[in-house]
Amino acid sequence: MKSSTALLDWFAEQGRDLPWRHTRDPWEILVSELMLQQTQVARVLERWPRFLQRFPTASACADAPAADVIDEWAGLGYNRRALNLHRAAIAVRDEHGGTMPHSLTELLALPGVGPYTARAIRAFAYEKDDAVVDTNVGRILARLEGRSLKPRAAQDLADSLVPSGLGWEWNQAIMELGALRCRPTPRCDDCPISSDCSWRLTGHAEPDPASGSAGVSKGQSTFQGSDRQGRGRLIDRLRSGSVRDNDLAAVMGWPDEPDRARRVAATLLLDGLAVHEKEAWALPR
């Protein structure tokens, strides 16, 4: 890409000073990456250091009950991520001596660690030249090409753009560009790589090639009144203590729908986010 240097220079001048950019600790990077998935940066700025103070290492997290990790995750989105983080910490402690593995294969074997997160750990902790493709990067790649991309094509293009030896800088720069400039409604006048953007050169012809392209997140279903909302209400209540069967429907916000409450609560059992004993619900220990 002709404007690679311009992007790196732009990031050096205008990139945000985020605390996880000052660490190369793979555990700290893993925690930040899971927190940043669908959670606003401002909230993560507050909660990331607090979480690491409580669980400073993978082994410390693994040694704690799952309930403690879920409790600390309050307000950070999907509680499954907290449980996956705890499970990944156990695997790091038990299978890797408490040290996060380096290889992509071993990272992908950790619970809850997918292709993006594994590559993010390699790029941001170990400074490898792996390319990461999150929703911001996926949007940029599609617009650069001027077409919707399949997952393999998006990853191949991302890999081809990483300057040798600059994996950390490049990935931070292109993710920052997607977060601040190449938004769903783009700010092309301030974009350092606009001269390479095929979509911009078409005059932003519709449809936006990023729509439906690999890595680009789709809008979520309505939360209000959803099963997800009921699950979240129950987990929030369980953080302060157990819930009796007779109180389940009211706690989940469906006092007149006890059958629905039991059905949705059962999905928490399947996910490992709750236990049911002696006619009461609780967080796993």
List the catalytic residues: 33
Q: 144-163 burial, b for 16+ CB within 10 Å, e for fewer?
A: bbeebbeeebbbebbeebbe
Q: Is 22 exposed, middle or buried (0-12, 13-18, 19+ CB in 10 A)?
A: exposed
Would you say 15 and 176 are in contact if contact means Cβ atoms under 8 Å apart?
yes
Q: How far is CA 86 from the centre of its chain?
A: 15
* Contacts of range 201-208, beta carbons closer than 8 Å, 24 or more positions apart: 201/146, 202/146, 208/143
DSSP-derived secondary structure letter, 138: H
Would you say 101 and 94 are in contact if contact means Cβ atoms under 8 Å apart?
no
Inter-helix orientation angle 26-36/79-96, to 10°:
160
Q: Could you give the CA distance from residue 129 to residue 64 in angstroms, rounded to a whole number?
A: 34
Q: Could you give the CA distance from residue 268 to residue 118 in angstroms, rounded to a whole number?
A: 26
Beta strands in the chain (DSSP E): 243-244, 275-277, 280-282
Q: How far is CA 107 from the centre of its chain?
A: 15
